[in-house]
Structure 1
Amino acid sequence: MESLNLQNVTFLLVEDNRFSARLAVSILKNLKVARVEVVPSAEDAITLLRSGFQPDILLVDWLLPNMNGSDFTKQVRTRGITANAYIPIIMITSWSRIAVIEGARDSGINEILAKPVSPLSLYNAVVKVIMKPRPFVRSATYFGPNRRRSNDPKRTGPDRRMTIE
């Protein structure tokens, strides 16, 4: 597989743990990304996004001070914090309980990675959100990437989401 050139891709990393932040930045620098901005909280990320900073991809920890990564994602998707509510969001977390995973999925996360993240797993997640983006779904209770990775015509019924953007 040919490698993806990330020299024009900008990231915003929302991570309060300095070791985890340094690890992610190191990986991204080795992938030769254009720019990585790091903030320690969702509040700082919201301030930066509202100031006009437009990253191509958000990397978000789940456990953050005052607001978890899922709540932050819901705000990015629905509150006009950034001009691009469709921005790819990859959650990186050490919390792998099913409730956390489902909450992240239901908040509009594109991909989720378990800590400690490896260079290959982060690269693969970035490739997925760039090369194989899922269409977005909007319903009364959800706005984010289609949670189903395939379009199965056999799925029918009242619970099937009909609005795909």
Structure 2
Amino acid sequence: MKTDPGKIRILLVEDHAPTAATLSAMLNALGFGKVTVAGNTTAAVNALKETGFDLLLCDFQLGIVNGLMLVRMIRRPDGITNPNVPIVMITAHAEPDRVAEALDAGIDDFLVKPVLPEKLLQCMVGLLERPRVFVKSKDYAGPDRRRRQTDRHPGRRQDDREIRSLVPRNKWIVPPKT
């Protein structure tokens, strides 16, 4: 890992104290020594105003003001902190609609509880050492969702050109009835 984990400032926003303690201990064991824990959105906003963080780990369900609202407050141009800070949503609820909603709010990555230390480290190292391009449009502000680039078309997803079917193009599984 190129980045010195001891210098990375992390804000962990988690309202469930045992989960916050577990994640904080996990981060410390992985070498991340500068972890600030916020138990609710108000504490998170106050911490963000006081300190510039390098990474934010946020639970989806935070009570009255959920994690999505916090992400949207951060991603606004006049937000409470650096709008480009990498944000990882950590939640036990991984329904496709919830994941899509979090991505639309502007998160960088999504992890499902219980989080394995290896997955957490892999996610964090990826975001810190290979930061995503930040895009702004009329309806969206956040990291560019395109992850893979090709040599022929930089910035375009390889998936856009790949055939998703295992059946070769122009071949019929069942010939059409004539």
TM bucket normalised to smaller:
0.7 to 0.9
Q: TM-score, normalised by structure 1?
A: 0.86
Of 84, 87, 105, the match for 1:86: 84
> Which residue matches 1:11?
10
Within 5 Å, which residues of 2 pair with 1:24-35? 24-35=23-34
**Amino acid of the residue matched to residue 15 of structure 1?**
E
Within 5 Å, which residues of 2 pair with 1:4-83? 5-50=4-49, 52-78=50-76, 79-82=78-81
Give 1 or 2 for the bigger CA radius of gyration. 2
Q: What is the CA distance between 1:153 and its match in structure 2? A: 7.1
For the residues of structure 1 that align with 2:119 and 2:42, how far apart are their CA atoms? Answer: 27
Q: TM-score, normalised by structure 2?
A: 0.80
Q: What is the CA distance between 1:3 and its match in structure 2? A: 7.2
Describe the superposition over 1:12-56 as per-residue Cα deviations: whole angstroms up to 9, x where unpaired: 100001111011101110111131111111121112212x21111
> Which residue matches 1:115?
113
For the residues of structure 2 that align with 1:63 and 1:21, how far apart are their CA atoms? Answer: 13
How many equivalent pairs are there?
Answer: 152
> Which residue matches 1:146?
144
**Amino acid of the residue matched to residue 91 of structure 2?**
T
Question: Which deviates the most, 11-20 or 144-153?
Answer: 144-153
Percentage of pairs with the same residue: 34
CA root-mean-square deviation: 1.6
The unaligned stretches of length 5 or more in structure 2 are 149-154, 161-178
For the residues of structure 1 that align with 2:36 and 2:157, how far apart are their CA atoms? Answer: 41
**Amino acid of the residue matched to residue 21 of structure 1?**
A
The unaligned stretches of length 5 or more in structure 1 are 156-165
Query: Does the 8 A contact of 2:2 with 2:129 survive in 1?
Result: no
Query: Does the 8 A contact of 2:27 with 2:33 survive in 1?
Result: no
